[in-house]
Every structure is written in C-alpha cells, then in structure tokens.
Amino acid sequence: MEMKGYLKFVVVMGMVVSGCRGDVNTFRDCYAKCFIFCMIEPNKSLCTCTTQCLKECIFPSPSVTMAIDSHTQNLGYCKLGCATSLCSNISKAHNPDGKNVESCVGSCSNKCTMSYSASTP
C-alpha cells in the first residue's frame, strides 16, 4: 500500500516538474499545474481547486487584468462565468483533464465573443 502512494507521488511530481521547465504557455499547462498543486493542499475541495484554477488561468495576473480595456475584461469575466458553470465538472480529484477543460473553456471564448458582439451596436 505504501509503495502505491509513493509511485503516485513520483508520477505527479514528474508531471509537475516536466510542466515547469519554462513559463506556462498554454491554458492546459496552467490549469493542470494549478490543479495538481491545489489538490495536494490539505482541506481543499475539488470544487475549490477547479474554480481557483479556472480564475488563475483565465486571468493570469492581477496586473494584466487591470491593464486591459473594459471590452476585453468583460469578455474575460464572461469566459470565467461560462467556464465555471460548464467546465468545472470535467476535472476529477486525481485527473485535472487539462485537454478537455481547455477545449471547454475555448468554447466559452467563442460563446462570449459571439454574445458580446451580437449585443453591441
């Protein structure tokens, strides 16, 4: 039993280290890294980690959020709301499934862009 736990730890750390060789360039990398680190923290729930990581990876840093124009910021908030409601159930406790979450969040980008552009004159 102890060996299985050790092997899981080695696999997870291998995934984390391989993802940390440089800057996190894609939503998928950002989400998977964030999710893995969040889930190993004590008292963190699946829902908390999913929501936290969606937010961190859609809005990579607070300074970027403050520097962008209101149109782009509104699209970001739309994307975050859509992703939280439609994509948060994809990840499981032992599998962030970054590929499918990224695809789902991408569909939210399309929905928000279409919705926002249709509502502006």
Strands (E), the chain: none
For the chain, what is the mean pLDDT? Answer: 79
pTM of the model: 0.69
- pLDDT surpassing 50 at residue 41: yes
What percentage of the chain reaches a pLDDT higher than 90? 48
- pLDDT surpassing 80 at residue 45: yes
List b or e across 59-92, with b for residues whose CB sees 16 or more CB atoms inside 10 angstroms.
Answer: beeeeeeeeeeeeeeebbebbbebbbeebbebbe
What percentage of the chain reaches a pLDDT higher than 70? 69
pLDDT at 18: 45
Tens digits of per-residue pLDDT, 72-113? Answer: 778 888 999 999 999 999 999 999 999 999 999 999 988 888
Q: Which of 28-37, 54-63, 108-117 has the highest mean pLDDT?
A: 28-37
- pLDDT surpassing 70 at residue 7: no
Rounded to an integer, what distance in angstroms lies between the CA atom of residue 13 and that of residue 119? 46
| H/E run at residue 76 | helix 70-86
Rounded to an integer, what distance in angstroms lies between the CA atom of residue 110 and that of residue 102? 13
Rounded to an integer, what distance in angstroms lies between the CA atom of residue 98 and that of residue 95? 8
Rounded to an integer, what distance in angstroms lies between the CA atom of residue 119 and that of residue 71? 12
pLDDT at 29: 95
Sequence ranges of the domains in the chain: 25-119
